[in-house]
Structure 1
């Protein structure tokens, strides 16, 4: 008869699913963990996938044997179905070593049978604590998103808040692939790194590879690695980028520049969770647990149309798609970005720069920024280095930035648009520029405040999301 325990450090809302071929033994184990304050449920192992979807457990305790091949497919199938659960494998001591090799990518821990209640209780308490911390971190991240920051990502615009929410959702998933799309300089690598740092893989390796920089004849070897003697010049074994990222995250930047035939091999490797070095004998496969993040400055649709991106690979990456807006479509974020870049650069260069004066900030806000956030960061760093006063001034900026900024922002018009559409766009972009200040917007537009309000009433009924504009603005 299990003894009741009132230990206060166990959350009573942590759900634990026990899966075992011995249902009677599973129910006994369920009763034990329920007496510790958990919410337990027992199920036959062949019903675990269905029950996991219905019960949504935080922890799965699954009883496996080395000779049961279905155990190898169980954990990958959970991930395929999008079921994120901390899995603890229970097995006889003799089976543990074999199971660790074959299903290591999906299990967070192992415990030997017969079960020692004290060891199991310590393990479950640790997992419960980790879950609580993870939940608190998610709540904190949501608060930060509302404040306009998520790790190193900065921005209060509607578009960037949406990006931050997607990053937070992607980080909460441990294995789902991610596709990041955006112009050069919009921060794709920063977003990928942030997803890794906020995820459960944060303690694992993070490997970033630019496919454009891989020579065609070395791409396969660089990614998969090779054995000694695999080809001419292979004088030693080489670990590929996939092996280096095992247990962590692999970013493939400019994925459409990867050779199409290697895209097919990459997809097979990621889905099979097995790595085979070039020149390795059959059967010498390495269990692989890598989260794939792919980024591109090109439209995936266009890349597929021209045969540069395989449709099946894109479908695999389509679980989380994060589109980064160009800086010209989020000008309201410039003050916050400038503040962040000044702080970073001042610390790096040991300068006593505390901010930016109004004229300088206005020039920065009026610039077109074809190089996006990366260009802005470089400009601020250069200005911080040359500045002689606590506040950055217009004279600290490069001449081309001063000239371009004083011309002011603009947007293109397409032939075929009605005057109503042009006026509506002009009014809303002016409001974006003034951060919603209607008095200032009316002054710029050369109309009265009452006229502006009338126009807003007229156009407000039309759908508009100021954070997701088209790429018409230059």
Structure 2
């Protein structure tokens, strides 16, 4: 059969039936894709128009298509010409319209748990829109986030992540919120701000939430306190209720339950009582550290040595002069500095602590005085120094004897002139800061050896406060043991631990070279092991149970002592022999100085 190539078609007699059926299928496919007119436009008996030939896209033999894909529309004309895609006029294109509500409707996020006034929450409707917004009102009429009368909540937790999340959640509910990371700061905020409710963690590093609860309720028994803990037990909950907590919630918090508790507490008129006159005056004297028969503020002890220390502490706190705090490592020098700050007229201003032995020498000047942006490599932004941060308050310089000699004259000049310049800066900045310094060495010996400037020593040593070693505090061991056992029992759960008489005798006989820090670590170890509530001698370390020193200076350990006990005593004895020289101790023992420091930190001893 000969196929026509004129492009005008061929007679029916000359066409192959297979060709007709293929052309009909192609025509039907073209109609589905929008090419050609509808079927009604073809007259009966007429031959359907044949589209112009399309040039192949490439040369060579090509396998025919299966017919599943729709051929692309092409316009008549040169090969490769496509039909223009239809486009609507710009004015007729559909546009997304912004949601419009009536006057007074809230646009954007609204603080607080808000619902529509007198209506159900917003519902979706079938045409992909939303119902018009109505004016929103707070869910709790007692909480109005836009006025100062909104209830005040104090959050106390040592976990910064949990503290910040809970603060944001409470603020979104419309409450005024302040946060504190420890009990001492919480007591200060409570004295100044007088919150309506306190949310406090039970387990904190320095003290417990139960201790804070007792202190907060001493002067305001009607203040509601809700305790939070991740280590909840029936015994702990009962103890919390006995002390006076209004509720006891476990972590992770169920915020629906927390919200219900807060609304229930706020519904009682006592929780929204006005601030007492003595606290409204602004001083909050009743929340200052007080002296009792068993201690003074955070210090526990009733020995003659501690009584003399308490008398000096009260006298020093009344003045505004510089103080040099001396004492062995672990006696509580920073705790003494914080107590001086809390008792001074500067107690409402910042307290900034800086350990000069823990900061590299090249960074210490920047830490003290701050720096300007671009002052040195890595100074990407301006930074305040410790003097600037403590302006109006107290700056505590711990381990002042370890300060580099090159920085000591600069510090002396700053203290004499009460002004400084940031690194890279040109402007003198004045400050009003009380400086407290501490050292575990004899400062006069450091001056005689040339490691500390004599004029700087005289400038800082206007007043001297000495902390006695634990071995010199006869009679304080039982008080400290029961205090730490009670607070650490709450931390680790279980019944409150008590000491067997033999255990107390062993604690009282040991010399405690690491002082209170070492003593606390030993008691915590015993509390963890004594799950039945009684601390027996077997729960104490071997070096506390039976330390034996022979006349020739060697040290003998009892049966059952571990390698860790022997290593600890060997390091301490070598430190004694070298005068606490870590470099010489490391050389004699064949260890690195870093290893010696890490071991002392693990033992709870700082020399």
TM-score (norm 1): 0.54
Deviations 1:33-81 (A, max 9, x none): xxxxxxxxxxxxxxxxxxxxxxxxxxxxxxxxxxxxxxxxxxxxxxxxx
Q: CA deviation at 1:127?
A: 12
Paired position in structure 1 for 2:537: 394
How far 1:179 moved relative to its partner?
Answer: 0.7
- 1:213 is aligned to 358
- Could you say which residue in structure 1 is the equivalent of 2:433? 290
* Per-residue CA distance 1:108-144 (angstroms, 9 max, x = gap): xxxxxxxxxxxxxxxxx9999678x75x888x84x52
2:494 corresponds to which residue?
Answer: 351
CA distance in 1 between partners of 2:416 and 2:495 (Å): 51
Distance 1:315 1:339 in 2: 40
How far did residue 177 of structure 1 move? 1.0
Tell me how far 1:211 sits from its aligned partner.
Answer: 1.0
Q: 1:362 aligns with which of 502, 505, 512?
A: 505
In the alignment, the residues of structure 2 paired with residue 217 and residue 276 of structure 1 have an alpha-carbon distance, to the nearest angstrom, of 17
Matched, 1:226 2:376: no
Tell me: CA distance 1:280–1:150, structure 2 relative to 1, closer, same or farther (3 Å): same
User: 2:435 and 2:493 mapped to 1: Cα distance?
Assistant: 37
Q: Which runs of 5+ in 1 are unaligned?
A: 1-124, 413-474
Question: Which 4+ runs in 1 deviate beyond 3 A?
Answer: 125-131
SS in structure 1 at match of 2:324 = strand
Question: Residues 322 and 434 of structure 2 are in contact (CA less than 8 Å); yes or no, is this contact kept in structure 1?
Answer: yes
Q: Which residue of 1 aligns with 2:343?
A: 198
| Distance (Å, rounded) in 1 between the aligned partners of 2:298 and 2:415 | 29
Deviation at 1:401, TM superposition (A): 1.6
Between the aligned partners of 2:461 and 2:280, the Cα distance in structure 1 is: 31
Determine if contact 1:148/1:161 at 8 Å carries over to the other structure: no
Work out which of the residue numbers 267, 273, 281 in structure 1 matches 2:412.
267
- Output the TM-score relative to the length of structure 2: 0.43
Consecutive unaligned residues in structure 2, runs of 5 or more: 1-276, 554-607
* 1:383 corresponds to 2:526: yes
Higher relative contact order (CA 8 A, sep 6+): 1
Alignment length (residue pairs): 275
Distance 1:260 1:379, change over 3 A: same
Report if the CA contact (8 A) 2:369-2:385 is conserved: yes
Alignment correspondent of 2:236? none
SS of the counterpart of 1:250?
strand
Aligned to 2:311: 165
Equivalent position SS for 1:236: coil
1:374-429 CA deviation, whole Å, 9 max, x = no partner? Answer: 1101101111111122232212212222123xx59x9x9xxxxxxxxxxxxxxxxx
Equivalences for 1:141-152 in 2 at 5 Å? 141=290, 143-144=291-292, 147-152=293-298
Query: How far did residue 286 of structure 1 move?
Result: 2.5
Corresponding position: 1:303 with 2:433: no
Residue 336 of structure 1 and its aligned partner are, at CA, apart by 0.9
2:497/2:530 contact within 8 Å kept = no
- The answer as to whether partners of 1:351 and 1:385 remain within 8 angstroms in 2 is no
Task: Report the alpha carbon displacement of residue 209 of structure 1 after superposing the two structures with TM.
Answer: 1.3
Segment of structure 1 superposing worse, 230-239 or 213-222 = 230-239
Q: How much has 1:199 moved relative to structure 2?
A: 2.0
Q: Secondary structure, in 3 states, of the residue corresponding to 1:332?
A: coil
Aligned partner of 2:473 in structure 1 is 330
Equivalent position of 2:422 in the other structure: 277
Instruction: Give the structure with the larger helix fraction.
Output: 1
3-state secondary structure, aligned to 1:213: coil
**Greater Rg over alpha carbons, structure:** 2
Counterpart CA distance in 1 for 2:389 and 2:467 is 28
Counterpart in the other structure of 2:326: 181
Tell whether the 8 Å contact from 1:186 to 1:324 is kept in structure 2 after alignment.
yes
Contact 2:375 2:424 in 1 (8 A): yes
